[in-house]
Structure 1
Amino acid sequence: MKRIRIPGLFFMLAAIMLVTACGKPAQSGESGQAGQSGQTGKTTEYLLATGGTGGTYYPLGGAIANVWNESIDGMNVTVQSTGASVENMRLLGNKETELAISINSIADDAFNGKDKFTAPIQNIRAIGVVYPEVVQIVTAKDSPIQSIKDLKGKRVSIGPAGSGTAVAAEQILGVFGMSPGDFQSFQDTFTDAADKLKDRNLDAAFAILSVPAANIADIATSKDVRILPIEGPELEELTKKHPFYTPYPIPASTYKGQEREVPTVTMQAVMYGREDLPEEVVYQLTKAMYEKQSEIAKGYAIGSQIDLQKALDGVTVPLHPGAEKFYKEKGMK
């Protein structure tokens, strides 16, 4: 057998490269739905769990991730579409994502093991409020549906399974003396629900979105819309049972056909992260999200609602130390 001689210099270089590679092993993270996450070399690979592609979480999460990736050295955040709040909390709990957006009430339930969560998920930490979540129950203006009680016997989408919308729909219907069994219930994403409303294959749909919501505005291009009010003694009962809800008036003319101000309720969409994320990394994420809000808004207009002065409103889950460090610098803690 012919033997091949390797020149001494080449052998030394190869050995040095091997030792260097072995001396800096990649720190693999947990496997998420959209791929591998964690820290690898000088690049920090994170997943951000959002919501359906037709909602607010997904495009807003994408705009935030783009700003993070552009402004933080070595940061690469990938956005994943999910069933939203309930699923996102479970993904954090299972270490299948590093970051997630959720309604504050759902995160509180997850942390304390209430309602949809049979056991506490206590590895979640708050980063800060992103924007107000507004409950909007949409029907066509020419529909006979004038109030929530008129949904009885109708075709209604209450939001995807595992979403904060579905939880809110159940809670709101409950104070009005109704349940999904009182009507033909669908669990569509709001993108699908909007298409069905336009085609008259659905009578009404629950949504928790920013105001104005692009999908509702899109429905209004083909037919005038009506937003059902949440008011009166039912509103009082709702806020007493579920104090995360606060009254919110949708201004008149927000949507085509909506001539009057509509009373409804809001909660807060909050950015959360895993407890085990490095303090300095979360500090940088928090700092960029609030100090580069105008750049986020260029990517998605709702980013304009990110407001440092409201960053801690309705936040009940403990803050991540990295976020807390930022707020202390700003004199907020």
Structure 2
Amino acid sequence: MKKRMLFSSLALVAFLVGCGDSSAPAQNETSTSTNETETSNGTETTNGADSVSLNLVTIGTGGASGPYNILGTTLADIYSTDFSINSRTQTTGASVENINLMEQGKIEMSFVMSDALSQALAGEVSFKEPVKNISQVATLYPNVVQIIAKEGSGINTIEDLKGKRVAVGDQNSGVEVNARTLLAGHGITYDDLQVDYLGYAEAADGLNAGTIDAAFLTSGLPNASVLELSETVGITLVSIDPANVEKIAAEHPYFVSYEVPVGTYGNDEPIKTAAVPNALVVRSDMDENDVYLLTKKFFESQDKLVNSHQAAKEIPALDAQSGFIAPVHPGAQKYFDEQK
């Protein structure tokens, strides 16, 4: 009898201990889950729908002094902070190089000009075959064609460039692509010029030193290199007749007429020129939820982008889906559908 009572007591103790052991891990798991949520910048990033699955988002930009690089750096900082990922920029020769890097899977996102994007999709000019792995998430601010010469040079219109030494941008950059198109639309070829392939900073140095006569610096306004020149050596903004822009746009519809506002570079009157809208693009093979979150964060961060460069002021004023050149990414489409 005593043996049976002892056995029953031992069994009861074992049962109670077993129950206590089985409940401990459940309490620890709950605690761990709570900690993960609390350490994610106040958002539930452990929920797959609210977090970016990528560990790295590299944004292709352009020259170091241009708006692409300034805005891209700001955007990368926002992504890194808000999504707890490694986001960074890659300084490049801009549009054409960015598109090629995306096609090669080396970057996830980039700023490009619509003319280069159009040519990439068609497999024309700088692209031997159509680029397929690229989708658009937004139409951005206009990239303004700024043709500059030293003050007193006698170069006032695009026709005056004939016979001059002209910087047309980095070879195969978006700047160079639209420079070539605009020149051709005025009956001017590279054979009529002495061409130098120079980026923003190098072109500004060349004008300052007198080694070139004029330069194409196509970007958002203001361009830091042009602004510095206007304050140091004095410049002339070369004009482009709107009627000629309209004729060129008949074949290249991404071109629009544009006026550089008074006072942008100390100019006393608006300067007529051309502009090409910029585009923000991603690889088509990126996850839909990732692109949705990246697009959403981009549009929700306009104040920070404007603080980094005033060209971003024109982004909210545009219908984000107007003028799309490339197919919209499904993730971006999801964001746009939510805004309706």
TM-score w.r.t. the length of structure 1 is 0.83
1:149 paired residue number: 159
| CA distance 1:69–1:180, shift in 2 (3 Å) | same
Name the CA distance, whole Å, in 1 between partners of 2:317 and 2:274: 22
Instruction: Tell me the alpha carbon deviations over residues 16-75 of structure 1, each in whole angstroms, 9 at most, x when there is no partner.
Output: xxxxxxxxxxxxxxxxxxxxxxxxx97621211111112221111101111122222x33
1:271 pairs with 280, 285, 296, which one?
280
| CA distance 1:321–1:43, shift in 2 (3 Å) | closer
Name the CA distance, whole Å, in 2 between partners of 1:98 and 1:201: 38
1:49 paired residue number: 60
Name the CA distance, whole Å, in 2 between partners of 1:229 and 1:299: 28
Q: Is the 8 A contact 2:61 2:98 kept in 1?
A: yes
2:312 paired residue number: 303
**Structural mapping, 1:235-314, within 5 Å:** 235-256=245-266, 258-307=267-316, 309-314=318-323
**Structural mapping, 1:176-255, within 5 Å:** 176-231=186-241, 233-255=243-265
Per the TM alignment, residue 170 of structure 1 is displaced from its structure 2 partner at its CA by 0.6
Q: Is the 8 A contact 1:63 1:297 kept in 2?
A: no
Q: Is the 8 A contact 1:136 1:228 kept in 2?
A: yes
Instruction: Tell me the alpha carbon deviations over residues 243-283 of structure 1, each in whole angstroms, 9 at most, x when there is no partner.
Output: 10011111122212x22211111111111111111111111
| CA distance 1:59–1:284, shift in 2 (3 Å) | same
Name the CA distance, whole Å, in 1 between partners of 2:221 and 2:88: 26
Q: Secondary structure at the match of 1:260?
A: coil
Name segments (4+ residues, structure 1) moved above 6 Å. none
Per the TM alignment, residue 128 of structure 1 is displaced from its structure 2 partner at its CA by 0.7
Per the TM alignment, residue 298 of structure 1 is displaced from its structure 2 partner at its CA by 2.6
Q: Is the 8 A contact 2:208 2:233 kept in 1?
A: yes
Q: Is the 8 A contact 1:54 1:189 kept in 2?
A: no
Name the CA distance, whole Å, in 2 between partners of 1:161 and 1:149: 22
Q: Is the 8 A contact 2:96 2:116 kept in 1?
A: yes
Is 2:335 aligned against 1:326?
A: yes
Aligned residues: 289
Q: Secondary structure at the match of 1:145?
A: coil
Query: Match for 2:134: what amino acid?
Result: I
2:86 paired residue number: 76
1:38 paired residue number: none
Query: Match for 1:57: what amino acid?
Result: Y
Q: Is the 8 A contact 2:133 2:283 kept in 1?
A: yes
Query: Match for 2:76: what amino acid?
Result: A
Name the CA distance, whole Å, in 2 between partners of 1:323 and 1:89: 19
**Structural mapping, 1:81-160, within 5 Å:** 81-160=91-170
Q: Is the 8 A contact 1:290 1:308 kept in 2?
A: no
Q: Secondary structure at the match of 1:114?
A: coil
Q: Which structure features the higher share of strand residues?
A: 1
| CA distance 1:249–1:98, shift in 2 (3 Å) | same
Larger radius of gyration between Structure 1 and Structure 2: 2
Name the CA distance, whole Å, in 2 between partners of 1:245 and 1:43: 35
Q: Is the 8 A contact 2:242 2:272 kept in 1?
A: no
Structure 1, unmatched stretches of 5+, are: 1-40
Per the TM alignment, residue 142 of structure 1 is displaced from its structure 2 partner at its CA by 1.1
Q: Is the 8 A contact 1:123 1:274 kept in 2?
A: yes
Q: Is the 8 A contact 2:149 2:214 kept in 1?
A: yes
Percent identity (aligned)? 31
Q: Is the 8 A contact 1:67 1:296 kept in 2?
A: no
Instruction: Tell me the alpha carbon deviations over residues 151-196 of structure 1, each in whole angstroms, 9 at most, x when there is no partner.
Output: 1221110000120110111111111111112121100011110111
Q: Is the 8 A contact 1:55 1:191 kept in 2?
A: no
Q: Secondary structure at the match of 2:96?
A: helix
Per the TM alignment, residue 305 of structure 1 is displaced from its structure 2 partner at its CA by 3.1
Q: Is the 8 A contact 2:140 2:318 kept in 1?
A: no
Is 2:71 aligned against 1:60?
A: yes
